Amino acid sequence: MLKSFNIYSYLDIMFNRRNFLSKMGMLTAGLTVHGISKGLSQQKRPKSKGPIVLSTWDAGLEANVPAWAILEKGGLALDAVEQGVRHTEDSINCCVGLGANPDRDGHVTLDASIMDHNYNCGAVAFLERIKHPVSVARRVMEKTPHVMLVGEGAQQFAIAEGFTLEPEKLSTAAQAAYSNWLQQSQYKSPSINRGNQHDHGPFAPTRLQNGEWNHDTIGMLAMDLHGNLSASCTTSGAGFKMRGRVGDSPIIGAGLFVDNSVGACVATGQGEDVIRVAGASTVVELIRQGRTPQQACAEVIQRIIDIKKERSKDIQVAFIALSIQGGVGSFAIHPGFSFAYKDAQRSELVKAQSWFK
Ligand code: SD4
């Protein structure tokens, strides 16, 4: 359940506790640049603050559960972020997995990515009829010399790896939404008005007929007991998008990025505007320069607003970030974005700060 508490105080408690460590991180990064330090791999890391898992939107609360089951047993962050978002890929919702809304030609096309603590990464885009794109992304990472496979080739690879080719059939909810959309059949990029109709911000959750929360793209960040970070992201992208459209989610450095010496970030919202600023990697680079995760997310959102100017009112973008010291941050353009946080003490939905109030 959403707890009513002040995001400033919540994040400040976390940041103040970790500010000292993050300054130390800045110092060692500087030394590394000048070749004086022993190198990051040999440096003594602060004791791990893990396990921690956080994920985007309200549905992240449920996705964190299977992720946590792995983390609390001392499992790998990589396994946690894969299993966590698979839970969302299995559910029927507007925006993740085969039950999601189709493109404007009526086909569900999926994008996903995953990255571990050793700069290993894998992604799939424009993938059809495969239930767990995040797991295909992991196979791309582990079994090919490549980082990304798309479309037919990604599907062929998935089948060769033993994934089932599912029938092409829209979920009941997606069929209804698509029929509704076809009445107008006007292509528009995802609009803030969609969410505002439900008073919950753009790309935002509404209740499905069965009472479950609907939601958007799921992105997940985890730190395991060993202090290693991983990230995952999976989505059907923008509902009723142009056929062939790929967003930020499968693009390493835009939708997701992990640098285990610094931190990790994942993005949600209008992918085109995340790609423009190399969103997730820019957030991580700012953390490297000494910003807290919160400051880094806010700064990249500000950059998007500076680029989009007036048009910022029509788009939503949000970032969540986790530093290697265990600091957490999030910032969105518009209100309505929440992320789900879990560690050994707490499991809660946190309302992100936003540029527009
Ligand atoms: C995309 N970033 O395809 C995804 C969509 C999303 O919240 O995250 N929506 O652009």
What domains can be seen in the chain, in order of their start residue? 7-96+216-354 (3.60.20.30)
- Going by pLDDT thresholds of 50, 70 and 90, the confidence category of residue 47 is low
Tell which one of 150, 217, 277 to mutate to probe ligand 1, the residue whose CB is within 8 A of the most ligand atoms.
217
Do 11 and 329 touch, CB atoms closer than 8 A? yes
The stretches of the chain forming alpha helices (DSSP H) are 7-33, 60-71, 77-90, 133-143, 151-160, 172-184, 192-196, 271-275, 279-288, 293-308
Q: Is a pLDDT exceeding 70 seen at residue 61?
A: yes
The C-alpha torsion from 158 through 159 and 162 to 164, rounded to 10°, is 100
Q: Is a pLDDT exceeding 50 seen at residue 211?
A: no
Do 343 and 322 touch, CB atoms closer than 8 A? no
Residue with tokens 């506790």: 17
- Is the CB of 93 inside a 6 Å radius of any atom of ligand 1? no
- Going by pLDDT thresholds of 50, 70 and 90, the confidence category of residue 20 is very low
Q: Residues 56, 217, 234, 268: which is the catalytic one?
A: 217
- Nearest-CA residue for ligand 1 atom 9 is 269
For the ranges 3-17, 202-216, 256-270, the one whose mean pLDDT is highest: 256-270
Residue 317 Cα to chain centre, angstroms: 11
- Is the CB of 271 inside a 6 Å radius of any atom of ligand 1? yes
Q: From ligand 1's centre to the CA of 267, what distance in Å?
A: 8
Please report, for residues 127, 151, 182, 238, the alpha-carbon distance to residue 171 in angstroms, rounded to integers and kept in the order given.
Answer: 17, 21, 16, 16
- Does pTM surpass 0.85? no
Q: Is a pLDDT exceeding 90 seen at residue 77?
A: yes
Does the annotation mark 292 as catalytic?
A: no
- Is the CB of 247 inside a 6 Å radius of any atom of ligand 1? yes
Rounded to an integer, what distance in angstroms lies between the CA atom of residue 256 and that of residue 217?
12
- Is the CB of 216 inside a 6 Å radius of any atom of ligand 1? yes
What is the reported pLDDT for 215?
A: 52
